[in-house]
Structure formats: C-alpha cells, structure tokens
Amino acid sequence: MPTANGEPFLEALWDSRTLACVVLVAEAIAAALSLSPGTQIGWISFGITSFMTQWTALLTLAGLYIFRHHLRQARPVTIAKFTLALLLIAAALVLFVAMAVVGGGWSMGTRNWLELLLRTEGIALTVGLLGMWAFHTHWRARQYAIRAKQFELEALRARIQPHFLFNTLNTGAALVRLNPARAECLLMDLAELFRATLAGPEHILLSKELDIAKHYLDIEQLRFGERLSIVWKVPDATPPVTVPSLSIQPLVENAIRHGVELRPGASQIVVEVRQTSDTIVVEVSSPLPPDKTTARTGHQVGLAAVRARLHDLDSRMGLQTMTQGDQFLAALHAPLAEIPSR
C-alpha cells in the first residue's frame, strides 16, 4: 500500500474520477450480489443491496476524509488496517439502518441476526481486501511511471539545463571585467552545483542540501539582480536529518522558472526551516505569475519525482504543495526520528 503524504494517496481519493469509480464499482457489486444464486431477483432486492453497498463505500471514504490529517504521517500498513476497520464498521452500521428501513428485520432471532451480520462483514472484508490489492497494483504502476520520469529528469540534470548554463556563463562573462570578485563567487557556486548534480551521493544531510539550494539561488540572484530577493529563515543549527540529494533544489528551481521568470517586476522567494517535536519542515514560497494563463506546465513531473524519492528513503517523508493568495507554497517534511532500516 502506498503511503499518505501531502498529495499522494489519500488526496487521490477525493478526486471526482475516484469517487465516480467507487460509485460504479459499488453498483456493480450490488448487481453481482443481487444476481447470485439463492437470491430473490427483483428491483427491491437490488435496491436494498445497492443502498447498502453505496452507503458502506461512501461512509468509509467519509471516515478516511475526517481522519486524513492523522493518517498523513501513518505507515502504509496502518492505513490499510484503519481502512478495513472503517469498512467493517460502516457495513455493520448500514446493515442495521437497512433492516430498520425495510421493517420486520428486528423480528429475526438472535442466531439469524448474527448469521446475517457475519455474512455481511465477510463480504465487506473480501471486497475490501480485493479493492486494496487492486489499488495497490494501480498505485505501484503509477509509482513506476513516476520513477521512469524521474530517471529522465536525472539524465537531463546530469547534462544541466542548457538555458541555465548559458545564462550563468553569460552573467559570469559580463561580471569578469565589472566585478571580478562577484564573477569568482558565481563560478564557485556553479562548480558546487555541478559537483552535487554530477557526483553527489544519493542521500545527504539537510544542511548540505540547503547549501546546494543556496548556491543555485545565489547564481539566479546575480542573473535577475533587483528583480529577485531571497529571504532565508534557517536556524543556526540544522538537525542531522538525511534527505535525498537534490530534493530541495528542484523546489527553488520551480519557484524561479514558474514564478520569478514570468513576473515583470520584483519577486521574493522565502526559504523557511521549521521544527516541531517530531518533524522538520522546509517550506519554499514564491509568487505566482500575474497572468495564470501564461504559467508553464510540466513542473509537476519534477515535484512528483521529489515525492517518489522522499517516499523511497522514508515513507514518513512527504511534499505538500498549495496556493495561498498570490503565493505558491512547497513544503517538504521529514521526521526527526532515525530513519527505519529497509
């Protein structure tokens, strides 16, 4: 089972296509149960079965939505167990309501009631396990597709985006005579960025990753001049948290390419590191372009690759993205506890 983190697995359940699929699958299950041998075939039987399957599915989704904030940091096995428990509770609750609506159900003996309840729970458990297996298979296929895009992205990064390299070299050439000291700083930043991109380890400390992002932003600040201001809200001592290499740099690159470059005036990027009792959060906020129709597409591939790499390192890690007013926020969160061995 996939994990829950910012966008991913749980957020996909509230998508309109997912809800439509749940309704259709529940209706198909109702039809199959109504047509099974030994069942009285008729619209009334189908209607009751449809009522039970639809409300069981929707109540389960509603329970997951209510507890979504608690489940975002949970392990995949915990989410699976919680979902099955919700499904069984919803099935029992809907059964009681259905018997009350139909009438006459309360006259059944205790043994018949228990048998009906066990049959209902057995069907719910079987359908739930099959559904989780199908969802797991679909999610893994999606993860493999994301990783394939990630490998393409890493291949491109190994060559460095030509426009970024050309812009940097042009800026350096212009500074050689005007300000040799700044030109030297720019080339040093570029060298550090190349070193991290081409030969860096797969996993590094958060402090090192922040340094890489700083080198990148220092280069871009020289290029944009007064159009770009950068605010760093980073504590003096960063906890020794391990993150995937080049997991924060894509966030600031996204802020440049899809925010600063598309704005004619001054822009500000804020990089903030916050710490709670058990989590550290790195948030990058940047302005949205004034005309949303000019916003570039395609950067979600890079963000999805970051999410996949975070999950591969530790299922408790995640990346959340959201829009607040005219700001785009990307927040990477990681646990302070030691990463469990795989």
- In DSSP notation, 131-163 reads HHHHHHHHHHHHHHHHHHHHHHHHHHHHH--HH
54 and 125 fall within a common domain: yes
Axis-axis angle for helices 206-224, 162-178 (nearest 10): 70
133 and 22 fall within a common domain: yes
Residue 191 belongs to a domain with what CATH number?
Answer: 3.30.565.10
184 and 288 fall within a common domain: yes
Is 316 contained in some domain? yes
Read off the pLDDT band of 222 (50, 70, 90). Answer: confident
For residue 273, the model assigns a pLDDT of 94
- Taken in order 14, 15, 16, 21, is the CA torsion positive or negative? negative
3-state secondary structure of 295: coil
For residue 4, the model assigns a pLDDT of 39
Is 340 contained in some domain? no
74 and 148 fall within a common domain: yes
- Of 286, 284, 283, 271, the closest CA to residue 333 belongs to 283
297 and 259 fall within a common domain: yes
Final residue of a domain: which of 92, 122, 155? 155
Structure tokens at 109: 């003996």
39 and 19 fall within a common domain: yes
| Cβ count within 10 A of residue 36 | 10
Is 223 contained in some domain? yes
130 and 164 fall within a common domain: no
Is 171 contained in some domain? yes
176 and 140 fall within a common domain: no
Average pLDDT over residues 284-304: 67
Is 148 contained in some domain? yes
Question: Rounded distance, CA 155 to CA 161, Å?
Answer: 10
Domain containing 164: what range?
160-335
Phi and psi at residue 331, to the nearest 5°: -120, 120
Is 341 contained in some domain? no
- Taken in order 154, 159, 163, 166, is the CA torsion positive or negative? positive
* Amino acid (1-letter code) at residue 242: T
Final residue of a domain: which of 126, 155, 184? 155
Question: Rounded distance, CA 214 to CA 198, Å?
Answer: 17
146 and 267 fall within a common domain: no
Q: pLDDT (tens digit, 9 = 90+) per residue, 48-98? A: 778 788 888 888 888 888 888 888 777 777 888 888 888 899 888 888 887
Backbone φ/ψ region at 249: left (φ over 0), alpha (ψ -120 to 50), beta: alpha
Where is average pLDDT lowest: 127-131, 169-173, 312-316? 169-173
Final residue of a domain: which of 130, 155, 180? 155
Question: Rounded distance, CA 225 to CA 250, Å?
Answer: 21
Average pLDDT of the chain, as a whole number: 77
For residue 300, the model assigns a pLDDT of 55
CA distances to 4, 116, 304 from 324, in Å: 22, 50, 20
165 and 150 fall within a common domain: no
Q: Count the domains in the chain.
A: 2
180 and 201 fall within a common domain: yes
Q: Strand 267-275 vs strand 228-233: parallel, antiparallel, or unpaired?
A: parallel
Is 280 contained in some domain? yes
Is 81 contained in some domain? yes
Read off the pLDDT band of 33 (50, 70, 90). Answer: confident
Structure tokens at 136: 């797991």
268 and 122 fall within a common domain: no
Q: Is the pLDDT of residue 104 over 90?
A: no
Question: Rounded distance, CA 342 to CA 339, Å?
Answer: 9
